[in-house]
Amino acid sequence: MAAGVAVGRALGVDLQRPTTHVSPALTRRLLPDHARQLAALPPERAAEEVAWIWTAQEACVKASGAGLAGRPWTIRVPPGARRGHWGGYRWTTLRDRSTLPLSCAYTDRDAPVEKAGPPA
């Protein structure tokens, strides 16, 4: 379970337990630019990395209020990344603080909070 609080900001949080392996098709769908890099990893390590990436992607669409309709798999999160941007949202993986893949996404302090869907 994960929870977050952000006063005056949109916030999304996601936590995943990695599987023991991930299919090449799923890897290509989530990371078309990095699928080969993940395919070179041992299966458990690749599955863990996909879980880290998915938590960042899911946190973004949760923060936007779009959920899966926001197409999280289109959000570019490179393997090993700890933070990045998607539209008006910032995302952060908590790789240095959590043994399970856990990420959050949020709007900047001064950005208006909207729940309209994914950024253009």
pLDDT(68) > 50: yes
User: Residue 110 — pLDDT band, cuts 50, 70, 90?
Assistant: low
pLDDT in tens, 8-45: 889 999 999 998 888 888 888 878 888 899 989 999 99
Burial annotation 43-70 (CB, 10 A radius, 16+ → b, else e)? eeebbbbbbbbbbbbbbbbbbbbbeeeb
Residue 118's pLDDT is what? Answer: 53
Cβ partners under 8 Å of residue 120, min gap 6? 87
What's the pTM value of the predicted model, to 2 decimals? Answer: 0.85
pLDDT(47) > 80: yes
Q: What angle do CA 23, 29, 35 make, to 5 degrees?
A: 70
Residue 75's pLDDT is what? Answer: 93
